[in-house]
Amino acid sequence: MIDDLGEVVPLHAPAARVVSLVPSLTEAVEVSAPGRLAGATDYCTHPVELDVPRVGGSKYPNVDKVLELAPDLVLANSEENRPEDVERLRANGIPVWVMEASATVPSALGSIRRILTQAYDLAEPDWLVEAEEVWRETRPERFRAVVPVWRKPWIVLGRDTFGGDVLHRVGIGNVYADDEERYPRPKLEELQARFATEDANLLVLPDEPYEFTADDGPEAFPGAKYVLVSGRHLTWYGPSLVEAHAALLRALG
């Protein structure tokens, strides 16, 4: 088997003891193949009833704890996980499947399909088929948005991001979609100027990775129309995509 980055995954039987270092993949594999997770990160909050050993954060997992769990497969992501951690696991004989950071909904679902059907030897799950159907249509653009994902410093969605494609498909254009960076760090004054010049007419504030609220975020953009959205619905690629389409449309009005 070959992962998204072209690396061999020396797995000789369907994965049965898996450590997931990616919250989205944790939810996807547990919903699709319950009981095969041997460990997950502290940030793997779904399914909410998941009860497995925790191995620290996604960006800085405790590799020793992962090794102690003796998994037959570790799931990682090219954006969320450090290459040095992946290499250390492989050097210790642990197969690692690295999913490439997806720029679109279809590519993310395609990657998950490969993991589930190849590494897990599963039939295509119903939720994945439903998510593909729900997200097939792209709605006409209604707003042009600035989409911060962090503050201090301000970081926004830029080019080729999964969250940007999610918004595009529900009719929300991303002001920074053509930026050279995937996650630009513009000064607040530049972001405010986007609204002053009417280049942007919507501020989209998710609750993760930074937890924006009605009292933390909108005050920096006086008079700008804003919406608070679930970060899970905006940036997670898994079963949550089935509900995310309708939930985002409700939030966006």
173-188 pLDDT, tens per residue?
Answer: 999 999 999 999 999 9
Question: What are the Cα distances from residue 145, in Å, to 95, 98, 220, 239?
Answer: 40, 31, 15, 26
Last residue of a domain, one of 92, 114, 133: 133
pLDDT exceeding 70 applies to what percent of the chain?
100
pLDDT category, 226, cuts 50, 70, 90? Answer: very high
Same domain, 62 and 159: no
Say yes or no: 189 and 218 in one domain.
yes
- Write b or e for each residue in 31-40: b if 16 or more Cβ atoms lie within 10 A of its Cβ, otherwise e: bbbeebbbbb
Q: Is the pLDDT of residue 120 over 90?
A: yes
Predicted confidence at residue 58, as pLDDT, reads 86
Give 144's pLDDT tier (boundaries 50, 70, 90).
very high
Find out whether 202 and 226 touch, Cβ atoms under 8 Å: yes
Confidence bin at 109 (pLDDT 50/70/90): very high
Question: At which of 81, 107, 133 does a domain end?
Answer: 133
pLDDT of residue 104: 97
Q: What is the mean pLDDT of residues 116-142?
A: 96
Looking at the structure, tell me whether residues 173 and 224 fall in a common domain: yes
**Segment holding 156, helix H or strand E:** strand 155-156
pLDDT band at 67 (very low <50, low <70, confident <90, very high): very high
Q: 47 vs 24, 25, 52, 115, 239, CA distance in Å?
A: 10, 11, 11, 18, 10
Q: Tell whether 180 is covered by a domain.
A: yes
Number of domains the chain is built from: 2
Model confidence at 92: pLDDT above 90:
yes
d(CA 63, CA 85): 7
Whichever domain contains 86, its CATH number is: 3.40.50.1980
**Residue 111 domain boundaries:** 18-133
Do 166 and 245 belong together in one domain? Answer: yes
Measure the CA–CA gap between 181 and 218, rounded to whole angstroms.
24
- How far is residue 249's CA from residue 172's CA, in Å, rounded to a whole number? 10
Beta bridge partners of 250: none
Q: Rounded mean pLDDT of the chain? A: 96
pLDDT digit string, tens, across residues 2-53: 999 999 999 999 999 999 999 999 999 999 999 999 999 999 999 999 999 9
pLDDT the model gives residue 140: 96
Inform me whether the pLDDT recorded for 253 exceeds 90. no
Per-residue model confidence as pLDDT tens digits over 160-213: 999 999 999 999 999 999 999 999 999 999 999 999 999 999 999 999 999 999
Does residue 151 sit in the same domain as residue 248?
Answer: yes
- Phi, psi (degrees; rounded to nearest 5) at 103: -95, -10
